[in-house]
Amino acid sequence: MGGSQSKVTSQKLYDSYIKDATKLDDLSGKVVAITGTSPGSIGFYIAEAAVKKNAKLVLLLNRQSERSVKADQALNEMAKETTKIKTIHIDLLSFDSVKKAAEEVNRLSTENGGLDILACNAGIMAMNDDRTVDGFNVEIQACHLSHAMLTKQCMSSLQQAAETRDEARVVFQSSMARYGDDLEKKYFEKCEPNTLGGSGNTAWKRYHNAKLANSAFAMALHDSLKEKDSKVKSIGCEPGYSTSGLQNTSQNTGRMMLSMLNAAAAFGAAQSPADGSLPASVACFGPGAESGDFYFPKGKNNLKGEPIKSIEKGRLVKKGKDEESVDLKNKQLIMGVTAEALGISSFL
């Protein structure tokens, strides 16, 4: 691909949220699991918030790599004696790996009264039209299907924490790419490589479906949990534009897109990964987060700034923002195709 992305490093907003006890709850006694926490990523700063807000156990779900080891080390250096940190291997391109990771999450959570927060954060963007070992498009499985499976596999632990400590949360990280056309079933079905548009610009169509799946699934799961009077909350979020480096791992970003991203950073339209983690951190740890909420940045074009809600308890805060995510057709489609892909009948 070539090129690089300009970095924005200021994290004044993030630091202010960490210091303000009214912005993020104290997590003493709670168990937090987060996917995708490599150093410098949005997930790393979600994990840092959990550590600094005194979580009892922070589970880092990552692929085995030097970067995952560094994340573990860095967070351990920050942690007080009352916080334990453990890395669990997960490969989101393999359902078998997800199931094994979920078993370990459940074992450790059960020993500590359940899983309080599951942050489904990790993702990949604009990849080639390849398939996983399970036969699904790589972006669709990494961004959505594997996180849906992880949620299903960990639901008993979430319910345990909800009964023990009166609530639990599962949070799904979406992106600005969710805006646009409705979901299409074909992207969530098994098919041969290069049959979903191939490489190049069509990669963004697949990414759009993956990220709209995140937000629509969060809202659909909220509906299901509400019907069951569950104390588990399903919440969505997106970071705005953060210079986290995700674009640099894409296979189809292209030089023009990188130039635009670099220009956005240079002219102050971007924010640091730390500040970009705040919508997710508030969704995970904020005192005012309710099931069916969706958080995104408040600033111009919602690219950066303090987290605010575009959806509250499953309903739009303002018409014209996130209509795709609460659309009944999209919610029904994503629940149906996801259950079919995972071979299950229900997520509860």
In a domain, 6, yes or no: no
Lookup: tokens for 13: 């907003």
In a domain, 4, yes or no: no
Residue 84 three-state SS: strand
Query: What would the DSSP string read from start to end of 222-250?
Result: HHHHHHTT-SEEEEEE---SB-SSGGGG-
In a domain, 301, yes or no: yes
Burial of 199 (0-12, 13-18, 19+ CB in 10 A): middle
Lookup: tokens for 163: 């009964």
Torsion angle (degrees, nearest 10) of CA 291, 108, 165, 158: 30
Which among 232, 234, 231 has a CA at the least distance from the CA of 220? 234
Q: Residue 284 and residue 287: Cα distance in Å, rounded?
A: 9
In a domain, 255, yes or no: yes
pLDDT at 189 over 60: yes
Residue at token pair 């009264």: 113
In a domain, 259, yes or no: yes
Contact between 322 and 215 (Cβ < 8 Å): yes
Residue 39 maps to which CATH number?
A: 3.40.50.720
Residue at token pair 């104390």: 231
Q: Residue 271 and residue 275: Cα distance in Å, rounded?
A: 6
Q: What pLDDT is recorded for position 126?
A: 86
**Mean pLDDT across the stretch 168-185?**
97
Contact between 155 and 206 (Cβ < 8 Å): no
Task: Give 295's strand partners.
Answer: 237, 309
**Whole domain around residue 16: which residue ranges?**
12-342
Secondary element (H or E) of residue 172: strand 168-173
Q: Residue 131 and residue 135: Cα distance in Å, rounded?
A: 5
Q: Residue 150 and residue 102: Cα distance in Å, rounded?
A: 6
Q: What is the pLDDT of residues 36-94, one digit of tens each?
A: 999 999 999 999 999 999 999 999 999 988 888 999 999 999 999 999 999 999 999 99
Q: Is the dihedral of CA 298, 304, 307, 313 positive or negative?
A: positive
In a domain, 69, yes or no: yes
Q: Residue 217 and residue 127: Cα distance in Å, rounded?
A: 22
Q: What pLDDT is recorded for position 254?
A: 44
Q: Residue 87 and residue 227: Cα distance in Å, rounded?
A: 34
pTM: 0.93
Burial of 232 (0-12, 13-18, 19+ CB in 10 A): buried
Which among 4, 11, 2, 3 has a CA at the least distance from the CA of 270? 11
Q: Residue 51 and residue 246: Cα distance in Å, rounded?
A: 23
Q: What pLDDT is recorded for position 51?
A: 98
In a domain, 73, yes or no: yes
Q: What pLDDT is recorded for position 201?
A: 76
Compute the mean pLDDT over every residue in the chain, rounded to the nearest whole number.
Answer: 92
Q: Residue 173 and residue 144: Cα distance in Å, rounded?
A: 10
Number of neighbouring beta carbons within 10 Å of residue 22: 9
Contact between 337 and 303 (Cβ < 8 Å): no
pLDDT at 245 over 70: no
Considering its fold, how many domains does the chain have in total? 1
In a domain, 347, yes or no: no
